[in-house]
C-alpha cells in the first residue's frame, strides 16, 4: 500500500462494510453505504466507482456515465428497479462479501410500484437523525472514525415528507456557514451527514429549522418506514400479493362508487387497473388507499388486509 491512499490495483476485493438499519425504518440508503465504503478505503466515491463498478456496468452494456454519486442516487430516482442499480448492488455483494438482502429487497419493492414520482429529486434530510447518530460521541472525529453517521433510505421517497422518529418535516440541505468556512475539493469528507460545503459533521450548519410535521405527514412516513423495515428483514411480497392486497381493500369497502372516487381522488378504473396488473400502483395512491380503508401499507403490499368490513361503513 502506497502511503495513506488505498491503491485499488493491489486489492481485488474491498473489505466489508455493514449495511445499517436492516429490518428497521432506518434502513441505510445505498448512496450512504457507497460513500462509507469509499471513505473506509481512503478513496473518493468517484475513485471507488470508476475502479470497481464502472467496468462491470460497461461489460453488461449498461450506462455508467455521470458523477458516480449522482448516479447512485439518480438510478434510484429514475428507476429503482433498473439493471444498473441491481448490478451495483450485486457488485457490492461480490466485493465486500456482505449479503445485501435488505437493499436487494428494496429494489424488488420499487419494481412493483409505479416509477413516476417514487423518488425525491432533491435530497431531503432529517438533521435531527444525524444529531442522534453522533450524540453519544465526545468528539466528532471519533464519530467519523467509528462510522456512526448514515443517510436513510426512507428520505429518498417522495411520498415521505417527515421523519417519523422525530415528528419533524424533512428539509433539503442549505449550508448556513460563512463562505470562508467552505471547504474545497479533496479536503471535504464525502459522507452522508457531513455537509459537502463546509464539512460540518452532522450537518449542524443548516440555515433552516425543521418544522413540526402534521399528523398526516407523520402517519404517511411511518407507513413507508414500516414497509422498508418489513421488506428489508425479508418479509414476503410480490406483484401478486400486492394485487391481492388491493383487491382486499376494495372488497372491504364494497362498490367503488363515484362518491369514493371523489373522496379518495382515485377512480374505479384506476384501481381496477392496479388490481388486474394492467398498471403499477403509485406509492402515493397505495397510501391514500390504506388511509381510506383503514389498513396499513405493509398489509396491502403483502396481501394481508383481510376482508373485515370497516367499522361504521
Q: Under the rule (CB under 5 A), what is the footprint of Zn ion?
A: 126, 128-129, 163, 165-166, 175, 177, 195, 197-198, 200, 205
Residue (131 or 233) nearer to Zn ion, CB = 131
Residue (72 or 213) nearer to Zn ion, CB = 213
Residue (166 or 243) nearer to Zn ion, CB = 166
**Minimum distance from residue 168 beta carbon to Zn ion (Å):** 6
Contact partners, residue 271, CB within 8 Å, separation at least 6: 246, 250, 256, 289
Residue 98 is classified by DSSP as: -
Which cell numbers in the block locate residue 91?
A: 457488485
**Minimum distance from residue 232 beta carbon to Zn ion (Å):** 18
**Minimum distance from residue 165 beta carbon to Zn ion (Å):** 5
Report which of 153, 203, 170 is spatially closest to residue 28, judged by C-alpha positions. 153
Beta bridge partners of 265: none
Which cell numbers in the block locate residue 143?
A: 464519530
Residue (82 or 200) nearer to Zn ion, CB = 200
Residue (5 or 136) nearer to Zn ion, CB = 136
Question: Residues 218, 219, 223, CA angle at the centre, nearest 5°?
Answer: 115
Residue (200 or 248) nearer to Zn ion, CB = 200
Confirm if 57 and 64 have CB atoms less than 8 A apart.
yes
Tell me the CA end-to-end span of the chain in Å, nearest whole number.
Answer: 69
73 burial (CB, 10 Å; 0-12 / 13-18 / 19+) is buried
**Minimum distance from residue 200 beta carbon to Zn ion (Å):** 5
Confirm if 222 and 25 have CB atoms less than 8 A apart.
yes
**Minimum distance from residue 163 beta carbon to Zn ion (Å):** 3
**Minimum distance from residue 125 beta carbon to Zn ion (Å):** 9
Amino acid at each position: 500500500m502506497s502511503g495513506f491512499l488505498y491503491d485499488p490495483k493491489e486489492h481485488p476485493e474491498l473489505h466489508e462494510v455493514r449495511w445499517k438499519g436492516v429490518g428497521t425504518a432506518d434502513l441505510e440508503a445505498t448512496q450512504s453505504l457507497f460513500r462509507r465504503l469509499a471513505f473506509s478505503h481512503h478513496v473518493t466515491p468517484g475513485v471507488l466507482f470508476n475502479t470497481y463498478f464502472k467496468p462491470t456496468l460497461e461489460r453488461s452494456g449498461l450506462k455508467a456515465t455521470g458523477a458516480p454519486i449522482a448516479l447512485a442516487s439518480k438510478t434510484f430516482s429514475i428507476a429503482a428497479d433498473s439493471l444498473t442499480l441491481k448490478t451495483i448492488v450485486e457488485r457490492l455483494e461480490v466485493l465486500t462479501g456482505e449479503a445485501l438482502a435488505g437493499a436487494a429487497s428494496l429494489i424488488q419493492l420499487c419494481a412493483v410500484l409505479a416509477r413516476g414520482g417514487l423518488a425525491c429529486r432533491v435530497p431531503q434530510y432529517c438533521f435531527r437523525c444525524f444529531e442522534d447518530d453522533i450524540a453519544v460521541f465526545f468528539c466528532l472525529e471519533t464519530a467519523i472514525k467509528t462510522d456512526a453517521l448514515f443517510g436513510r433510505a426512507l428520505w429518498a421517497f417522495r411520498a415521505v415528507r417527515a421523519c417519523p422518529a422525530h415528528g419533524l418535516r424533512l428539509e433539503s440541505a442549505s449550508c448556513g456557514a460563512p463562505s470562508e468556512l467552505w471547504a474545497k475539493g479533496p479536503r471535504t469528507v464525502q459522507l452522508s451527514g457531513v455537509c459537502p460545503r463546509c464539512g460540518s459533521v452532522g450537518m449542524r450548519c443548516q440555515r433552516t429549522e425543521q418544522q413540526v410535521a402534521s399528523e398526516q405527514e407523520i402517519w404517511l412516513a411511518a407507513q413507508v418506514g414500516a414497509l422498508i423495515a418489513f421488506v428489508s428483514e425479508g418479509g414476503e411480497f410480490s406483484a401478486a400479493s400486492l394485487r391481492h392486497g388491493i383487491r382486499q381493500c376494495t372488497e372491504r369497502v364494497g362498490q367503488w362508487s363515484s362518491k369514493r372516487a371523489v373522496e379518495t381522488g382515485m377512480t374505479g378504473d384506476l384501481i381496477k387497473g392496479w388490481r388486474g396488473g394492467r398498471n403499477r400502483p403509485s406509492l402515493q395512491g397505495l397510501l391514500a388507499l390504506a388511509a381510506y380503508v383503514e389498513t396499513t401499507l405493509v398489509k396491502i403490499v403483502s396481501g394481508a388486509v383481510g376482508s373485515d368490513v370497516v367499522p361504521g361503513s
